[in-house]
Structure 1
Amino acid sequence: MHAEDTVTAQLALFAEAPAPKKKRTRRIHPSVPAAPSSTVPAELLAEADWILLNSSGGKDSQAMASHIVSLAARLGLLHRVVIVHADLGDVEWGGTRQLAEEQARRLGVRFEVVKAEGGDLLARTVARFFKLKAKAETEAREQGLDPTTVKVAPAWPSSSARWCTSDLKRGPIRKLMTRLVDELGPLGRPVRILNCMGQRAAESAPRAKLARVEIDRPASNGKRHVTRWRPIHGWSDAEVWKEIARSGLPYHEAYDWGMSRLSCSFCVLGCEADVVLAARLRPKKAAQYATVERKVGADFKHGLSMREIIRRAAALDAEHGKLRRPPRGTAMARYVGKKTTGEYLSRLDYQGRLDLAA
């Protein structure tokens, strides 16, 4: 299907989109604690009724999951562990959901998939643009100005407006939390959920400032108290890859191709090298992003359009030829060496080959 047709089909999901709801003041239930009762890993795990491991299918969440499952197993708490993957649809790298499920199966823990209702990130970006445009035009008319000259705020997600995370990940995962609470039935107290995330300080300056353990007050209410824990917050890249090698779990081959991060194949927060590489691996998907750029009148990344990304990808293909599949273990070997990587690969019986160009 042509890029333009694909986006048009996605937009049909928003044809009857309701008017934006008025923001309401959120009140935190008085039972929700202001601070966690402990920051000791064993105590956090033991106090939790549910241990929820967020998995994007990427290396950090994978290392976090295998690390926490090992701790939970020693404490006899595996029955409380649930791995959850927020399925982002076709904007994800191919095979991501299946890989996350395979990792959970090998770890011997429950696996859940959640997915936001409606269109994917591209369709939501266009729908968001029209809502922002309508709002700006209404405000202009109220002020006696020409609505055809209004400047519309960027519709793409950004570091300051990460609506993609709240809409496509956080919201659906909170619905799962509600279901998990219902599964336990009346306890005579709020259910305690330990929400584990694979975010690391080494990823970015903003993530370095995140607390290792904190109460997730917006996600908590009178029925559940949610503690957010970042178990590998202080880990280096080398420590992450050592854990993957130890666990023997398969990792996504996008890393062997050269990607530094996973989840969305084109992430607005990704570095230039990543998005150009993604355009070489997924040219059809890059074309769809370029189509949305034209519709919303704004660059995919601030100061870097998808059109320019595609141009740079084409230039690299012309100079060096099309990318060839790298040897398995390429990414891991850079951090743990060829010997350890060879031992890891000899234990790995996951034969799935992912179609990254889908």
Structure 2
Amino acid sequence: MSDLASLIFMPKPGQLFPLATSAAGQASHLPVVTTTEVDAALARDCVVAIGVSGGKDSVACAIATSRYLDQIGHAGPRVLVHADLGRVEWKDSLPACERLAAAIGWELKVVARQAGDMLARWEGRWDANVTRYAKLECAKLVLPWSTPAMRFCTSELKTAVIASGLRKWYPGKTILNVAGIRRQESPARRKMPVSARMQKLCRKDAEGVSWHPIIEWKVEDVFSTIAGAGLELHEAYRVYGASRVSCAFCIMSSGADLLAAASCEENHGIYRAMVELEARSTFSFQSGKWLADAASHLLSDELADRVRLAKEAAAEREALERLLPEHLLYAGGWPTAVPTLAEAALVARVRGRISELVGIPSDYLDAESVRARYAALVSARSAGSNVAASRPSNVDLEAVV
């Protein structure tokens, strides 16, 4: 628990505010942190929107923020927003958000990606990447999964859909987008600001600002705040012993958290579906770690055998791709050089074998057609071509694995 007596309360940006005080004037709730930018927006009764997943940090952040807004007399709109990721969600995530909304008396809105849930996004990405490879729109086969360095799972299925909803619901209003980010969580988060302009929420007639009011909190502060509010924790913590809540099986999950998720029977269907994509793509869910290994006892003999073959294929695919000269890899979705005939022959051999391993009906499997395809794409890039037939359809970084 934070030592509240050691906090110095001063009226300046970065001030730590007690959320409520006892009759003796002592802080009885943990503090939130604000900035001049946040204070000015709140003084104008801006919209305050808190993204909630059902996980401990977003719940504690909502409790603390609600208390603080009550204390300062904020009279603007307040809303909780849950981005539903579909089949990959723990079944208790939405109910946990509903319990929170009822406890603090805020409206809860639920948004979702219209083009499909998280699993559909990974499956669709894989299908698109297979097409790219077949058309030689990439030199190396690209994985279906999001990664810690390429978190489109967060940017597309959470941030983008939440921002879209907020812009639609509150036209012309300044919006504070609140998140339960804490510096204790990671080195990257230790560097994050208390608040910042949020471009996705900015419009011609209104500003958008991200705000992290519990950024200085420790994990024990989070749990004590939730317990003090009388709220029941998400079942992932309470029943299965997970340390975090996001997707049931997350690209950021530890081995222990993957095991915790697999111990919940309601997660078995999505587990098998995700392992199916590992087997089909020959890419492990996490770098060097196969989701199939987290709970292999849940797999059918047929799927377990396909995973074994996929692992063998993955090892051979990776070895083959290491043979490709770096100057023949694509940058920003385009080749930057035309191979010699000998280099093109190497690319063709690599493509042919990988296509066999993964089951991709590829074009450009001989030296002459490979060299001609590279030349056509290099020429189109140089000319600034907008012809869809000659432009690569996806610009994911193929070096990310």
Question: TM-score under structure 2 normalisation?
Answer: 0.61
Whole-Å Cα distance in 1 between the matches of residues 76 and 47 of structure 2?
A: 9
Contact 2:194-2:212 within 8 A present in 1 as well: yes
Whole-Å Cα distance in 2 between the matches of residues 107 and 300 of structure 1?
A: 37
Whole-Å Cα distance in 1 between the matches of residues 129 and 55 of structure 2?
A: 33
Residue 254 (structure 2) pairs with residue 265 (structure 1): no
Larger Rg: 2
Counterpart of 2:16 in structure 1 is none
Residue 286 (structure 2) pairs with residue 301 (structure 1): yes
Residue 46 (structure 2) pairs with residue 49 (structure 1): yes
Contact 1:266-1:275 within 8 A present in 2 as well: yes
Letter aligned with residue 307 of structure 1 = A
The 3 A distance-change label for structure 1 pair 308 and 181 is: same
1:233 alignment partner, SS class: coil
Whole-Å Cα distance in 1 between the matches of residues 53 and 75 of structure 2?
A: 20
Whole-Å Cα distance in 2 between the matches of residues 137 and 223 of structure 1?
A: 46
Unmatched segments (≥5 aa) in structure 1: 1-36, 141-146, 183-189, 315-358
Deviations 1:276-302 (A, max 9, x none): 221222333211110111222210111
Counterpart of 2:92 in structure 1 is 95
Whole-Å Cα distance in 1 between the matches of residues 120 and 109 of structure 2?
A: 25
The 3 A distance-change label for structure 1 pair 210 and 43 is: same
Instruction: Give how far 1:162 is off.
Output: 0.5
Deviations 1:315-344 (A, max 9, x none): xxxxxxxxxxxxxxxxxxxxxxxxxxxxxx
Residue 46 (structure 2) pairs with residue 86 (structure 1): no
- 2:204 aligned residue (222, 229, 242): 222
- 2:164 aligned residue (175, 178, 182): 175
Letter aligned with residue 285 of structure 1 = I
Segment drifting more, 172-181 vs 231-240? 172-181
Letter aligned with residue 197 of structure 1 = A
- 1:114 aligned residue (108, 111, 115): 111
The 3 A distance-change label for structure 1 pair 228 and 39 is: same
Whole-Å Cα distance in 2 between the matches of residues 106 and 161 of structure 1?
A: 35
Instruction: Give how far 1:313 is off.
Output: 8.2
Structure having greater relative contact order (Cα 8 Å, sep ≥ 6)? 1
Instruction: Give percent identity, aligned residues only.
Output: 30
Contact 1:276-1:312 within 8 A present in 2 as well: no
The 3 A distance-change label for structure 1 pair 313 and 280 is: farther
The 5-angstrom pairing of residues 17-166 of structure 1 reads 38-39=35-36, 42-77=39-74, 79-139=76-136, 151-166=140-155
Deviations 1:17-73 (A, max 9, x none): xxxxxxxxxxxxxxxxxxxx9447655532452001110111000000000000111
Unmatched segments (≥5 aa) in structure 2: 1-33, 300-401
Contact 2:272-2:298 within 8 A present in 1 as well: no
The 3 A distance-change label for structure 1 pair 78 and 88 is: farther
- 2:268 aligned residue (283, 289, 313): 283
Q: How many aligned positions are there? A: 263
Instruction: Give how far 1:160 is off.
Output: 0.9
1:254 alignment partner, SS class: helix
2:174 alignment partner, SS class: strand
Whole-Å Cα distance in 2 between the matches of residues 40 and 217 of structure 1?
A: 15
The 3 A distance-change label for structure 1 pair 266 and 158 is: same
Letter aligned with residue 151 of structure 2 = R
Contact 2:45-2:74 within 8 A present in 1 as well: no
Instruction: Give how far 1:157 is off.
Output: 0.7
Instruction: Give how far 1:242 is off.
Output: 1.3
Contact 2:201-2:209 within 8 A present in 1 as well: no
The 3 A distance-change label for structure 1 pair 205 and 129 is: same
Contact 1:42-1:71 within 8 A present in 2 as well: no
Contact 2:197-2:210 within 8 A present in 1 as well: yes
Contact 2:35-2:194 within 8 A present in 1 as well: no
The 3 A distance-change label for structure 1 pair 223 and 40 is: closer
User: RMSD in angstroms over aligned alpha carbons?
Assistant: 2.2
The 3 A distance-change label for structure 1 pair 258 and 62 is: same
Counterpart of 2:5 in structure 1 is none
The 3 A distance-change label for structure 1 pair 137 and 223 is: farther
The 3 A distance-change label for structure 1 pair 68 and 165 is: same
Letter aligned with residue 309 of structure 1 = A
1:191 alignment partner, SS class: coil
1:299 alignment partner, SS class: coil
Question: TM-score under structure 1 normalisation?
Answer: 0.68
Counterpart of 2:185 in structure 1 is 203
Contact 1:126-1:296 within 8 A present in 2 as well: no
Whole-Å Cα distance in 1 between the matches of residues 200 and 79 of structure 2?
A: 21
Whole-Å Cα distance in 2 between the matches of residues 58 and 263 of structure 1?
A: 7
